[in-house]
Every structure is written in C-alpha cells, then in structure tokens.
Structure 1
C-alpha cells in the first residue's frame, strides 16, 4: 500500500512538485490530495512546498494554512469598546489585490452561503469591520468559526482572481491548501468540499493544486469530486510518519475511496508491531472500535471487545481502561509511552478484535514489509 518513503518534508515537497509538473504538460497531475492525521506535518509540508518556489522576491505558490489565518488579527478596541475590527497584515503579498479588485463584492457572494453577517473592507486602514444586517452602524466581533469561514472565502476570492489571470496574481503557479476548515461538521464538510471542487473544475487556467486534510469526510468528498473532474490528472494519497525512523510514507489510495477506519487500523497495528505504544494510541483504538460497532448497528463500542466467556470479568476491565485512557490528558504532540501492563491490555483488545472481525491481512502485511525495508 505504501508507494514512497521520504526522509524529510522538503524531499516530500519536491516529489509532490514533480507529480504536479510531470515530465511534460500531458503527464503532470492537476490535483494532489493528501489525507494525514494531525501532527504528521501537513502544515509544515505546505510551507516546505511554498519555500521551494521562493527565490529572492519571486514566488510561485498561493497557500492556505494556519499561517494564512495569522495574517488576520483582532483589534477589540479595549479603550472604547466600540470599533471592533479585523486587522490585515499589509506586508503580505496575499493581499496584493486589495486596493484595485473590489474584494468586498468578490467575497460577499462566496460568504453568503455560510454566514448571515455583513462586512466592509477599509482598504486604506487595512481592516475589516463586521455588522449585523439589521444594524449596519455598530461593528461586531464575529465568532471564531465565522471568522474562519470569512478568511476561507477571502482566500477563495483570491484563488478565483489567480485563475482569472489577474495581473497582481500572475505569479501563482501552484495553489496549496491545508485543512481549510479545521473543525467541520458533516454538513459543512460536504458543502465546503463541493464548493471548492466547483472552483477546481475550471479548465481555463494552468494552475496546479495540492490539498491536505485530517478530516475523513472532507477527504472523501474531494476524492469523489476531483476524480469526476479529471480522473487521469488526479493523484490521491494517504500520508503517514514513522515515529521510529522519522520517515514519511506516501500511500496511493488507488481507484477506491479512502476509508478512515482502515487508516486507523494500520496506525495501531504498526504501533503494536514496533512496540512503540503511546497513551494516545488508545484514542485511535477506541475510534476504531466505535466505527466498527456503528457499522454493525450497535450504540456502544464495548460490543467489539471480545468476551471469552458468558460472564467474562475482564470485559468490564478492558472497557473501563479504554474509556479512562481516552479521557486523560494524553497529547499526540507530547507522547507518553504506555506502562507495560497497559501495553498488554492494548495488545489483547486489538488482537481479540482482529480475530473476531477479520480484516484483509494484506493491508497490514504491506505496511509491515515497508517498515522493514524502507
């Protein structure tokens, strides 16, 4: 299942540029789509991709990631508690078209499908003020989620101008998008994915696009949409990283859509085989059990913890342990190795689950083989 191994993010970014460019115009891809868990390095990968195209003042990549959101900051008018506004970073080339491109009217129709507030961009003061539609005289502070949607639509408007060939964005050769909306519910994951796909369906430009996300539904929406747009020019992948070697693995998802539970299964099995079990792996294990129990029509994941006897006293122990280890403060970014006895419990629950609900062993065999021969 794993196709390529990379020692670091710059080498992975170089490879992705090669995939998009190809040996010639005909062989290059239009779209690269990556799924990866938070913490793997998606955001830094987008920056590595951007940096490869940076030479002195020249640029070639328009990007959206966490750094893009940092170009917007709030001035809450603490002295007067009245003139609340979102400040734009005037030093960024992201805002090159602000003065001459009528950004308000470009953003407004994009934002209207997600929000019901209005806004006004002050191009001289480099700020944005927001208003309730029924009270346009008093600036308001919008919620964090609304702010994120506004910034996303701001980016879409700029992306649209780049595709239109606007002079101020003619430097754009690539568009790189990392997790456009970090916490989408299912409805918005579908809406944002479909909306983005409509932009990407345009064929009147030569800009290439790379997208990464940790959101499984958003990935699947784009997988289906981009495949319809241009199946031959579409390259979807699953990105993972080995804690043992630090290597990055890129797995081509082929002609079948990505299934989140299979990625979870590979992750926990790889951790078990390597012996590098951390407390956060209980989160992945519980998620795997929950998805499997829902598939079989049950409300509780405990049905996937195998009973050895009719009244198995260990069943309650295993269920409680999985619950407790999920509610502790166990960070993916500051991993704590499991205690030996917890490793035993983890391995038993996983082994019993795989014995009772057999998955295709080829999935795990390919992963193990790649780990042994990177």
Structure 2
C-alpha cells in the first residue's frame, strides 16, 4: 500500500525496535524520510515563542548529506595559506565542537579516519587563534577563531622535499616551516570519510555514556534525553574491504548499546546492507560477574529490515525484508526490470540496472567482461547492443537525462535481453 513519507516515519516509530535497517535506491526518498522522522521525534511546531526551544539534537542525532554540507574548504591558496577544512558555525556544530573538545575525542576521530580512509594522512584540529578580518563596513577588526573549528591534513613529505624545508604563511602572517610533513587537500571521498569519522566518534561516546545507568556517573548529561539515531546513507566512497569493516563496527556498536536508544539506518549500498543484516541478525551475549553469559541483544525482538520503494504516483512503499533470506541485489534489479517492461515504464536508469546485473553475473561466472554474457551474433561475436547499454547506463551530471527519451527499439531489445538472461542462465522465474 502506497503511503506518504510522513506515514512511513510514523510506522518506524511505532515499530519500537532497537534497530531498523532500510534499503532504497538513490532518489527513492531516504533523505526526505530522515527529515520527516526528525520532525516526528522533535517537531518544531511544538516550540513556544516565549520558551527556550528544545533543540532537536536533544532527542535525535542524525547523519545525512546535510551533515557533510556543514564542512567546507578554505581554498585561499593564492595567499599562500594552507588548505583547511572549516566547520560551518551553527547551533549543532558549536555544540558538537565544544562536546568533542571537552571529552578529548580528537585522537579517536583521527584513529577512526585513518582506519577507514587513509592511515598515511593525519588530521589536525586547530587551537584557538586571532586574525584580522574586514567587517561588513570594510573595517579591519580582530576576530577569534575557536579551537576545533578548522582541520588541516598532513602527510609525510617526499624525500626530495626534506632537504629544502617548505614554508607557508600561517594565519598570523609568520612563516611556518613544515619540515618532514606537508599539508594537503584530501580527496572528496576522504573528506566524506573524515566527516563520518567525526559523527561515528560522537556516536561511540553516546553509546558508552548512555550505557552507564547511574546518570550521576556519566561523563556528560548532554545525551540524557536522546531517543534516536538516524543514519542516512553513510560513507559509500570506501572500497569494499573498508566498507565491510565500517558495517561490522557500526553493527557491533549498535549491539553494544544497553540503553533505550534506538537506531534507524538507510543505505543504497547492497554490500553495506547485507553486511549489516548479517551482523545484526546474530545474537550478542555479555559476560556476567559469575562468569555466565547473558543475552544482551536479541535480533528476533530488536531488529527489523525493509526496502523503501518510490511509486509512479509519487507515493512510497516500505516492504518487510524477510529475516530468513538474504537481500539478493541482482534478483531485486531483475524484478524491477521486469516490472518496468511489463508496465511500459522503461527509463534510462533501467539500463544501469541491466549493466549492474551483467557485471555481477560475469564476476560470479568467471568472465573477464560482461558483454561475453550477451547473445552472440551470426559471426559468434557478442551482441553490439552492449555499446547501447554502455551509452545509456553512463552516469550523467544532468538529472534530467535520467528520464531522457528511450527509443522503442532499445525498449524491445531490453525486453529480449532480460528474457534471454533469465532463460539462458537458469534464474528462478518470479512474478514481475
């Protein structure tokens, strides 16, 4: 049954599970769902004008693409100033910076970043400093840059650089000798990993703190009212091995939570989804003082998984994913293809689906390249339709091209190809 995202958010809340995991394609409403859920848990409409507003973070922490928008680069390289990642000041980041600084979590952020991204790069948080800046009237004034509001990234300098130490201008105008290290601008993928590492370090501290049942013994009272953590599509730029490691660590952290804190996680990555499913489907036990083990996490009662699908009418469906079967991504894609063909709703992105299926089949069957799986021409060569699949499945920066006109002959060819793959390679026939 199709529903509004607001209704689905209410369902997730009413489910009352320790952890809920949702798979959905990009563009299927994951991020909008996270915002609807946040509004449900901490509605802005409840705030009285004369009252001090109860900030949403007191009830829910959430990570999404908007979290990454709070970090940006200062790229004033022409002035000789080193590249630095700056943190956009607002009520959340001010709270986050102050909290992590007070708890001394900078070392753990560095450890997490180097573990998941690059152990050759070291993030460095700034100390508080003063600098000159023009105000809105153009007058030069002195401002204070707070500690932990900027991050630089260093790597060991190349051997050829060590004989001639490089100096750059620091914010106070004095020459700064880099010596055996050089400051770099990290890649976009590493930047995403760093931001996730900041959030994950905070999450570790949240779980650790709330596991202390005696509130007077907690390191901080900042998390006492926290009810939910919503993680929307965490880092997907990792290679498979690091993505698996991240999923295992996240699942372990969730299972170690003894408080009433609840977690909702969404992802478009089938690998991340499957690893989390496997890890969260296993029971966890805690050793007691008498050396016996007590069940501390029971997936049968605490874990639920779903698929979120966007319908043609703009509404959504959230479907239970059976707990007794794995999520088979290629079978899901084939099902989506057959449904699109049946309904006459073939779009450009469906050619990305068929390419994805072919790539996974080629890997499983031991072929070096997926066109070898296509029907052969009279000369015994792979069908030239492979080139059309390549062209139509190529990623585009223009979202409008995703609904570009598809020629009827390409639609017919896709239909023939899907039937060929199912019949030739022995796929179990399922209802479209």
TM-score range, shorter chain: 0.7 to 0.9
User: Which residue of structure 2 aligns with residue 93 of structure 1?
Assistant: 92
- Greater RCO (CA < 8 Å, at least 6 residues apart): 1
Matched, 1:33 2:26: no
Q: Which 10-residue stretch deviates more, 334-343 or 113-122?
A: 113-122
Distance 2:395 2:182 in 1: 43
- TM-score norm. by structure 1 comes to 0.84
**TM-score, with length taken from structure 2:** 0.74
Q: Give the drift of 1:275.
A: 0.2
Q: Note the alpha carbon deviations across 1:83-122, whole angstroms, 9 max, x for none.
A: 4322223313254243222231342332342333131244
CA distance in 1, matches of 2:126, 2:2: 43
Task: Return the alpha-carbon distance in structure 1 between the equivalents of residues 363 and 83 of structure 2.
Answer: 45
Paired position in structure 1 for 2:190: 146
Q: Does 1:158 align with 2:212?
A: no
- Summarize the alignment of residues 79-228 of structure 1 with structure 2, pairs less than 5 Å apart: 80-99=79-98, 100-114=102-116, 115=118, 116=120, 117-122=122-127, 124-125=146-147, 127-132=149-154, 135=178, 139-163=183-207, 164-165=209-210, 166-228=220-282
Tell me the distance in 2 between the aligned counterparts of 1:209 and 1:290: 33
What is the aligned length?
349
| Structure 1 SS opposite 2:264 | strand
Q: CA RMSD in A?
A: 2.6
Decide which of 4, 11, 15 is 1:8's aligned counterpart: 4
| 2:167 corresponding residue in structure 1 | none
**2:229–2:263 Cα contact (<8 Å) kept:** yes
Output the CA distance in 2 between the equivalents of 1:197 and 1:253.
18
Unaligned runs of 5+ in 2: 48-52, 129-145, 157-177, 211-219, 284-297
Q: Give 2:160's aligned residue.
A: none
CA deviation vs aligned residue, 1:62-96 (integer Å, no higher than 9, x gap): 01110001111122234522243222233132542
Deviation, 1:184, is 2.3
Q: Does 1:47 align with 2:35?
A: yes
Contact 2:359–2:369 under 8 Å retained in 1:
yes
Unaligned residue ranges in structure 1 (runs of 5+): 22-28, 369-374
Are positions 1:341 and 2:409 aligned together? yes
CA shift in 2, pair 1:318/1:312, >3 Å: farther
Could you tell me how far apart the structure 2 residues matched to 1:296 and 1:327 are? 24
1:301 to 370, 373, 379: 370
What is the SS of the residue equivalent to 1:298? coil
Alpha-carbon offset, residue 209 of structure 1: 0.5
Q: Which residue of 2 aligns with 1:248?
A: 316
SS at 2:26 equivalent: coil
Matched, 1:320 2:387: yes
Q: 1:106 to 1:326 in 2, by over 3 A?
A: closer
1:89–1:126 Cα contact (<8 Å) kept? no
Looking at CA atoms only, which structure, 1 or 2, has the larger radius of gyration?
A: 2
Tell me how far apart the structure 1 counterparts of residues 363 and 183 of structure 2 sit (CA, whole Å): 45
Q: Give 1:265 shift.
A: 0.8
Give runs of ≥4 in structure 1 deviating > 6 Å.
none
Contact 1:82 1:138 in 2 (8 A): no
Q: Which residue in the other structure is 2:141 paired with?
A: none
SS in 2 for 1:316: coil
Aligned equivalent of 1:68: 67
